[in-house]
Amino acid sequence: MCRCGYDPMSAYIRARNLTLDVPIFLQPDREATGWAGMLMGAAFDPPRRRTIRLLEDLDLDVREGDRLAILGRNGAGKSTLLRVLNRVYQPTRGQLEIQGSCQALLNMSLGFNGEATVRENIFLRGVAMGLKSSFLRDQVESILEFAGLQHKVGHRLRTLSSGQRLRLGFAISTSVQHDIMLMDEWVGTGDADFMAKARERMRGRVSGSKIVVLASHSVGLLRDICNKGIVLEGGRLVHAGDITSSLKCYHDLLARLRAERQAMIEAPADGAHVYGAIEEIRPAKKPGQFVLKGWMVDTDGAVPAGLALERDGHLYTTSDLRWCRRPDVVKHFGLSNDMCGFLAVVAVPGVSQPSELGRNVRVLGGANPELVDAELRMAPAVIETLRSSS
Ligand SMILES: Nc1ncnc2c1ncn2[C@@H]1O[C@H](COP(=O)(O)OP(=O)(O)OP(=O)(O)O)[C@@H](O)[C@H]1O
């Protein structure tokens, strides 16, 4: 055991009073609109340097086996904390000890050079990640194969599409298993086959890591992966505990902020994301109609009003959307609004059984019936039913 009480052989992250200040440059508003006045302003009134605090006095103890969720609303400091843990930013004050090798899935194009070839970029990025060139030489083929880019090996990186670059970055970043995995909200932009492969690899890497730290707004993903959580607000730590208490604290915080905002302006909050799940799709009494059972809320804790089923690109709006209490969901996800369960009816002409709906079906939620764009997760049983269609 070392002085701080950690086993020096195991992986851990320990931070005390972690504080990060960064300089920013502010340009005062100029009154001049003519070119001469603008030039004079640029010459004699340069931007002013100021320092702002992004993280303040954070204490963190992450031990082997911990899967830590970093929660917080936009701009709370989640990505900044991950960058500090990944040593991209040097803390201004406080101590940070990290034991174990780190794999960071924060920026898929970090270390890439658009003018170098795909093969050269594998080395550039790999070396930036601390891998040896001899090791990378052995890995090149499998990285190219995973990314599906064998035929592009000698092409310049800038000629690749953004999806191909993302695939390459992902394949390199996840080519090695590390002790500690740092992940930011990972929104994949690959085709369905690559996404399935990437998810599989992520699952393997997550289960092979001694520590996982994940920042995301996806409550379902955090609930699936994490056992612990912290909540940040304005760069400060407002809660640390198990995942259930952390999600509850996060949702309470969002609900409180929402109530304050509504008290100030009688307008709905924008920027809230809808999420939830579809637990059952069954035939209704009337032929051609289906009952959808599930739950949804938005990240501000409010119950959304829009729900629709999308089949082969065609949208079928639900009728008769009825809400019910779901204490089980509230307990599991730490939500603050228990009226989040629903039953709704949707008519899909010409179809009588859920298995006839086909595979190309999504259920979308949204703030109102005209704005449904958030895909709800399907329960495994529902996916099974839809997959069984011929
Ligand atoms: N290099 C920087 N210079 C100045 N301000 C910065 C810098 N990096 C981040 N910030 C600011 O710090 C705050 C926290 O940013 P950060 O990206 O960590 O938020 P976040 O919690 O990850 O948000 P989101 O959920 O939107 O991704 C934001 O207000 C952001 O504008």
Q: pLDDT per position in the chain (390 positions), as tens?
A: 544 455 557 899 999 999 999 988 777 666 666 777 777 777 777 777 888 999 999 999 999 999 999 999 888 999 999 999 998 899 999 999 999 988 888 877 777 899 999 999 999 988 888 788 888 899 999 999 999 999 999 999 999 988 889 889 889 988 888 899 998 876 555 666 787 788 888 888 889 999 999 998 778 778 888 999 999 999 999 999 999 999 989 988 888 887 776 655 444 445 567 888 999 999 998 888 999 999 998 876 778 889 999 988 888 989 888 999 998 888 887 777 788 899 999 999 888 888 888 878 899 998 888 888 888 988 888 888 887 754
- CA angle (361, 363, 366) in 5-degree steps: 145
- 161 belongs to a structural domain: yes
Whether residue 16 is contained in a domain is answered as: no
Residue 194 within a domain:
yes
User: In 10 A of CB 235, how many CB atoms?
Assistant: 20
Q: What is the CA(105)–ligand 1 centre distance, in A?
A: 17
Q: Are residues 283 and 380 in the same domain?
A: yes
In this predicted structure, what is the pLDDT of residue 232?
Answer: 95
Q: How many CA atoms lie within 13 A of 66 on its CB side?
A: 24
Q: Which of 20, 53, 54 to mutate to test the pocket of ligand 1 (most atoms within 8 A of CB)?
A: 54
**203 and 293 housed in the same domain:** no
CATH of the domain at 140: 3.40.50.300
pLDDT of residue 231: 96
pTM check: above 0.90: no
Residue 350 lies in a domain: yes
DSSP line for 135-175: HHHHHHHHHHHHHT-GGGTTSBGGGS-HHHHHHHHHHHHTS
Ligand 1 atom, smallest distance to 89 CA: 1
Cα within 13 Å of Cα(67), Cβ side: 16
Would you give the distance in Å from CA 35 to the centre of its chain?
45
Beginning with the edge strand found earlier in the chain, give each strand of the sheet holding 377-378 in spatial order. Answer: 319-324, 341-347, 289-298, 274-283, 377-378
Q: Residue 131: which domain range?
A: 104-209
Could you identify the atom of ligand 1 that is nearest to the CA of residue 82? 18
If you take atom 17 of ligand 1, which residue's CA is the nearest one? 79
Domain total in the chain:
2
Question: Where a domain ends, among 154, 175, 209?
Answer: 209
Residues lining ligand 1, Cβ inside 6 A: 22, 24, 54, 72, 74-80
Same domain? For 190 and 283 the reply is: no
Asked whether residue 28 is assigned to any structural domain, the reply reads no
- In this predicted structure, what is the pLDDT of residue 359? 78
> Which protein residue's CA is at the shortest distance from atom 28 of ligand 1?
75
Which residue owns the Cα nearest ligand 1 atom 25? Answer: 74
Domain endpoint, select from 161, 182, 209: 209
Q: At 198, which amino acid appears? A: A
From 170, 191, 209, give the residue that closes a domain.
209
Q: Looking at the domain assignment, is residue 165 inside a domain?
A: yes
The identity of residue 255, as a single letter, is A
Residue 184 lies in a domain: yes
Q: What is the pLDDT of residue 267?
A: 42
**Distance, CA 79 to ligand 1 centroid (Å)?**
7
Query: β-strands 211-215, 67-71: how paired?
Result: parallel
Is residue 379, in this structure, part of any structural domain at all? yes
Q: How many Cβ atoms from other residues are within 10 Å of residue 221's Cβ?
A: 17
Domain holding 292: CATH number? 2.60.40
Other C-beta atoms closer than 10 Å to the C-beta of 260 total 9
Which ranges of the chain would DSSP assign to H, the alpha helix?
35-44, 78-85, 118-128, 133-147, 162-173, 192-208, 219-225, 243-264, 327-333, 380-387
Instruction: Give the integer Cα–Cα distance in Å for 136 and 342.
Output: 52
Q: Within this chain, do residues 281 and 205 fall inside the same structural domain, yes or no?
A: no
Q: What's residue 189's pLDDT?
A: 54
* Lookup: tokens for 197: 């492969």
